[in-house]
Every structure is written in structure tokens, then in C-alpha cells.
Structure 1
């Protein structure tokens, strides 16, 4: 799963999905160390990892569409997540009992306690989906404006509040609320500070435009949050500048039996289970119990497998579903053989190019040239409105 870098891009994607029919939703908050497991669960149950072309094909066949969105919550190590699905036959209606409809007043799609997705009227008499601030958030802005105006020493307090207000995402509903807050601030300024110099609020936030945003793999975002870094950044994961004062990440030792590095941390057991997947499958064919396998791994790798048996059983089940890539023990001495594709490319490169001659008029008329009897079939592309 790829997570957009900017918060506005995720809000745009949610707005577009609801407008295209994904009106049923389930949302919540999950800790960073449990996010990848939640993503994997939704992918297994509802096929949330499909591309937009595959979703379009399913909806053409009458099946319901499902989409999964997530974004790290600001200032915490948690993720906000949303599971959206359309009308139709789908297992989410039976398994997700807390589902709500976005068009209902008590079932709106919310971004924490800050924004909510609502339907607003348009000049042509129709309605459109847009984000706006919640009632609690608007009231908090009003209280902050009042406190800044009553700071009569200087005007820096009210200017700082207004500068933050202008930087809000410029959706239609948010822009209307910012205009109302500007009018509220102007009226309160005239009532409290009558003799002061007249003050005009700045302009409203700029319009939000759809654009392709930079994305980051979800595993990388989780790893940065777990080591105390910001979710998005240019510095490498685990750099000493962003690590907490307690120290750097736990060291990576080397196993004397295998000669391979032993990772340390929250995901160490998962990496080691994938590494020993073939040996574990052999043990399972020999009818080893889960506790025996755990004790063997505990003796081999140490505290990484000092976990309860139910948790070990679940991690083992998921690890056996992942195809582990082969690891070279001594990369310096290993010889990498050229692939057949590379060999074929080199052979074609070394071949002498054949001399081409121009076809005569009789040969062109008779159609005696390659491709004269072929027919080209063009597959129609789906409409833009059906991509999601």
C-alpha cells in the first residue's frame, strides 16, 4: 500500500470515492505496530489491493467495490483509517457491523475531530460533496480568536491565528467557514478594541486542485513512526538525528549457526519466520506442535520468540503465506550467472543487421509482405467515471 505524503491528497481521494458511490464506510484509529496486520486483513477479506482497472471490471460485472485509505495522525504514532465500499453483494455487510452511510447525518465520513465530509448545494440547484470543519472545531477557532483579540499589548497574537487559519485546506466547505470566522473576528475586534486601528483579515485559503501526489510505502511510514521519526522525510530511517535520547536502534547481531544477521525490534520475529519458512514447513509435515517450533526458534534466535503461543501461531500463519526471497550468505564469493534474457539481448546486439530493400509496386498490390493479412482489434477503454 502506498500512502500519499500530503494530507490534502488523502482528503481528495476520500471525497472522490464517496462521490463515485462508495457511500458505506467503517473507520477507526490503529496503532502503528498493528497497521500492517490490519491492512493485510482487509486485503485478504475484501481485495483492497486491486488496481482501479480491476475495480472497474468488478463493478461492471455487478460486484461491490471496496477501497482502503489511511494516513498517520499528526503528533502521534497512530493511523487514521477508512474502509469504503459500494452497494452490492459483499462480505463487508455481514462482517463489518459498525458500517455507516456517508449521506446520513450521524454517519458522515470524518477526519478525526477536525473535518467531516458533507453534501453542500451548488448554484445550479444540485449538491456536491465537500469537506468542512466540525462544529467543535469551529467553536475552538472562535475561542482562540477571542483570546487573541483580548491580548491588547500587540497585534501579533491575532495575526498568528489568522495566518494559521489561511493555511487550512481550501475545500468549498472550509472556505465558507473561514470567511465566517473572518467576519466573526472583525466584529469582535470592533466591539472590544474600538479605539485601536482598524484591522482587516487576510484572504481566504486558496482553492484545492487535483494533482498527482508523491507516495511512500506503508511499511516505511510505520518503521519511521516506530523509531520516533516523522512519518515523511528525506533522512534515512533510523538516523541518529531523529532518534530519541534513549539511544539508537537495537543492534543487529549475527547468528553463529547460520552466519546471517539477526534483526532486533518489533518485526524481528516476522523476518525470522519468513527466513526459516522452509524448515518450519518440514517440521509441520513431521507433525511438530506449535510450541515445539516456538521453543526451537527461541533456542536458535533468543528473545525475539519469547511471546505467547497464540500470538506466535498467528504470526507463523501469516509468515508462511509470504514468499521469502533467497538470501546469499557470501555475496562477495558468489558468482551471478547471466540470465537468458540478457544473453538473448547480447546475441541480437552482436548480429549483423539485415539489409532491407524497398518493395515493388506489384508486391505491394499483391500484399506479399509481413502483416498484410492481419487484422487489428482495438479494445475499448472504460469511461473516466468508471475507473473507481
Structure 2
């Protein structure tokens, strides 16, 4: 959904936007895991992003702190969160408006979707989706650390969408039979994929599948595409954020990038 907003009465709300893809994905994951499972999403041009944010703030009071939101939830009221991030290769922003279960007089103004339903999962670039997946026992022990903090057997994680996995397997089969540089490009894109738990598992599966295909078609060892020895991990880091107004100003001024540096490149479609 693309929403063009006018100039709302709540003008002046200036949300903070994380400066890296990993941080933006992490913030979405954290909010959904904390119960913000109902959502609407879309895109908005940079020159209308502040008006859109102000309109949502006017409707849903997005600026409340953790204590205020906790009190509202205890009273059975819905609370809301807005996430934005620049869309790769454009001057548009992707946005996600999340809410918890509860009452609110304006809920019918949006067409809410349920992130718990895999058919309406939150997606990123159409390539990744946010889902609940079982956590292997060995991984739970690793997450628990020396203190032995209990880890839930099922947790939220990002993963490649099934369609994307099928497309990459087909791409691997084709490129092994018709060698060119596209296979190396795919391996490079996998090596910089965000290192969420389920994505790491899927990358490992694709590397194994590539090995199988190269062996099946008897590609000489010296001509095989080399598989990286390690798989990227996503680790907690301090999240740097900048005001939305700064990003919008950069876009209007024609800056080449939204942020001074990018954490990792956009993974090309297979």
C-alpha cells in the first residue's frame, strides 16, 4: 500500500530512523516479539514521510514512553509503534505501523494484518519474512550463556521466503550446468545476507546444495565456485538513529545515499 498523506494537525512529530538495515530489522523483530503483532505497511515518498508520520502520531500517540505504553496495555488498550527505513534504489521509505492487541477508538481506520499468520508475515524487500521458528536445543544453550537464562523453544527470526529459496536453488542448478559469473555473484550475496538464526540455516543449506550440484555434474575442483568457510552472524550492537527530517532533507537535496555509510550491500535478486 502506498499512502500519500497531507499536512496533519500533528505536524512536528519527527521519529528516529536506524542507520543500518540490520538495526531496522532487529527493531521490527523486537517489537513483534513483544506483542506488536498487528500491522499495516506500505511506502511513502520522502517529501511526504513527515506528514505521514505526524498523521499516525495524531491518531495513535506514537511518542509515549515505555512506562506509559505499559500502563495502557495493562488497561486493555492497544499501543502502537512506527518503523521506517529507506527503500533501496529510491527516494521512498518503507513503513510499518505495528500495534498490540487491545482497544482503541480508531482501529477501523487501518486494514490490520496479523504477523503471527505466515500468509501475512512482515516482509523485507520481498526477500525476507519475519516468522516464529523452533530454536534447536544446542542453540538455546548457546544463547543462554554462562548464566543459564532460559530461552524459549520457539522464537521470532528472519528467514528467506520459500519462493526466494526455490528461485535460488533453481538458479544454482542452472548456473552449474551453464557456468558463468552469476553463480559467484549469488554466493557473494549469500555471504553478506543478514545473519539471523534461520537465514544462517538456509544459507548453510544452499551452500550444501551448491556442493551437491557441482559434484553431481562433475565440475573439476579447480573450476568450482568456492564456498565461504564462515556464515555471517548478526550480533547486538548499539543502534544509531537519525531524525526522519534529516533523511528527507538529504533526499530532497539529491544526496547519493540516505546514510553516510552502508553496513552491507543490497542482496541482488537471484
- Whether these two folds match at TM > 0.5 is yes
Q: In the alignment, which residue of structure 2 is the partner of 1:206?
A: 232
In structure 2, what is the Cα distance between the partners aligned to 1:199 and 1:4? 35
Give CA deviations for 1:232-270 in whole Å, capped at 9, x if unaligned: 128xxxxxxxxxxxxxxxxxxxxxxxxxxxxxxxxxxxx
Distance 1:12 1:107, change over 3 A: same
Q: Secondary structure at the match of 1:59?
A: helix
Q: How does 1:241-320 map to 2 (within 5 A)?
A: none
Q: In the alignment, which residue of structure 2 is the partner of 1:129?
A: 156
Q: In the alignment, which residue of structure 2 is the partner of 1:28?
A: 42
Structure 1: runs of 5+ lacking an equivalent: 235-388
Give CA deviations for 1:81-109 in whole Å, capped at 9, x if unaligned: 1011011111342211x211111122211
Q: In the alignment, which residue of structure 2 is the partner of 1:50?
A: 64
Structure 2: runs of 5+ lacking an equivalent: 1-14, 138-151, 262-270
Would you say the 8 A contact 1:68–1:84 is kept in 2?
A: yes
Structure with higher RCO (Cα < 8 A, 6+ apart): 2
Q: Secondary structure at the match of 1:168?
A: coil
Q: In the alignment, which residue of structure 2 is the partner of 1:188?
A: 213
Would you say the 8 A contact 1:46–1:91 is kept in 2?
A: no
Would you say the 8 A contact 1:25–1:82 is kept in 2?
A: yes
- The CA deviation at 1:112 is 3.1
Equivalent position to 1:84, from 73, 88, 98: 98
Q: Secondary structure at the match of 2:103?
A: coil
- 1:2 maps onto 2:2 in alignment: no
In structure 1, what is the Cα distance between the partners aligned to 2:219 and 2:259? 46
Structure with more of its chain in strand, by fraction: 2
Q: Secondary structure at the match of 1:212?
A: coil
Q: In the alignment, which residue of structure 2 is the partner of 1:215?
A: 241
Aligned residues: 231
- The CA deviation at 1:209 is 1.9
- The CA deviation at 1:183 is 1.2
Distance 1:87 1:225, change over 3 A: same
- The CA deviation at 1:199 is 5.8
CA RMSD of aligned residues (A): 2.2
Q: In the alignment, which residue of structure 2 is the partner of 1:168?
A: 193
Q: In the alignment, which residue of structure 2 is the partner of 1:66?
A: 80
Q: How does 1:338-377 map to 2 (within 5 A)?
A: none
Give CA deviations for 1:59-79 in whole Å, capped at 9, x if unaligned: 234322100001001111111
